[in-house]
Amino acid sequence: MHLSRDILVNIFLRLCVKTLLICRRVCKYWNDTISSSDFLKFHNELSISNPCHKVLVTFPLSTIDFNACRVKQEAKRQNWIKIPWMADFADDFTLLGSCNGLICLGTKSNSKILWNPSTGDYQIVTPQTSGNFRGSHRPYFLSGFGINPSTGGYTIVLGCYYWDNLQQKRAIYIITQRRGRYECKRIQDIPGTTNIYQRLGVSVNGHLHWPASVHNESVVLSYNLAEEKIRSIPLNGQAITELPDLGLSLPFPVPFTLGTCEGRLCTISKPWDAVVQRKDTFELWVMKEYGVWKSWTWLNNIEGIGDYGSLVPLGFFENGDLMVDADSRHIKRYSFKDKSARTLQILNNLKSCSISYVETMVAPR
């Protein structure tokens, strides 16, 4: 029986990447249908809108599927991934960001790697450099990966250290894709009064974001991928240091982390009384209207999760449970209903890093 192309497309759109890779081998017609630009675009849009994403964990390198964690018996199921360039880069990469199913990695040389962990495809990118950029032999204080909506090309954002007159300084560089090649340029310096609380940027609304403090005021640093500019968004009043109920004050802002909740920016931080009294209580806030600091809204408290300094939100399950990276020590699933948490993965906190991504058929380019 011959199925029309429209029926085939509707079937294929409901399949995961692993199954689609098998279907491509059935016949030339199926391969051409799945490999077409229109199908890849629709499948990518559906994948991004699906709340059940995956989380990539480094050291040990593995992925945790949100679907595989729905029931208690499957909570520890892991799909270990072998990097295709294992022989050359096994212990020589830094996680820089994710976008549309691609993971961006940096090596100790000047090369960057765009990798699709779902298909195994990857591309090594060596950008043309300029200025004080010296590659990645120094640790980055921030990084991010996204698409410039005005050009359609990928952009890698890096916060690098450099030396000037025997003084160590910090600057933001971008690696942009233009006319089939990648170029690197310096955007601006970051003053010493700026503290970055989370290295990996969070992508929302065509911007990359990092939690920070500037002159002891809590802000969200926002990089506009189209305009190539950085601005700051005030946090939800957390710069206030007075604690009237306790009769105390703090001379510094409380560190916080960033993630996404239904496509909106969200933050996790400890309230002031929890910091002073050393409670294991965190608050979850969401920005309901992008760029409007007064739209920050409290969603819920996270209590009884354990003695951790920070929780990085990685994603939400369909039932509202939250997955977090706790101090790069554990990947946790937290239930707001039961006020309880269970460990999904134990990490090597010296090297481990985690990031959420979606399964797509997007090819690195």
Does the residue 16 lie in any domain?
A: yes
Tokens coding 287: 């920005």
pTM for this predicted structure:
0.86
CA distance 251 to 72: 43
Q: How many CB atoms lie within 10 A of CB 288?
A: 15
How many CB atoms within 10 Å of residue 53? 21
Cα 48 to chain center, whole Å? 13
Phi, psi of 209 (to 5 degrees): -130, 145
357 three-state secondary structure = strand
Domain limits at 18?
Answer: 1-50
- Domain for residue 194, yes or no? no
Are the C-beta atoms of 173 and 166 separated by less than 8 Å? Answer: no
Q: Is residue 31, in this structure, part of any structural domain at all?
A: yes
* Residue 210 covered by a domain: no
Is 27 a domain residue?
yes
Is 35 inside any structural domain?
Answer: yes
| 132 φ, ψ (degrees, to nearest 5) | -90, 10
Say which CATH number the domain at 26 has: 1.20.1280
Write a three-state SS string for 135-190.
Answer: CCCCCCCEEEEEECCCCCCEEEEEEEEEEECCEEEEEEEEEEEECCEEEEEEEEEE
- By the 8 A CB rule, do 119 and 102 touch? no
In a domain, 43, yes or no: yes
Phi, psi angles (nearest 5°) of residue 93: -150, 155
Query: Domain tally for the chain?
Result: 1
Any domain includes 42: yes
Per-residue pLDDT in tens (0 to 9) along the chain, 365 residues: 577 888 899 999 989 888 999 999 999 999 999 989 889 888 888 887 775 578 888 876 778 777 665 544 444 444 445 555 544 555 568 899 999 899 999 887 778 889 998 888 888 888 876 555 554 445 799 999 999 988 888 999 999 888 778 788 888 999 998 777 888 888 888 887 889 999 999 999 999 999 998 888 889 999 999 999 999 888 865 433 333 344 444 455 788 999 999 889 999 998 877 777 778 899 999 999 998 888 999 999 999 998 899 999 999 888 889 999 999 999 999 999 999 999 888 887 677 889 999 888 888 87
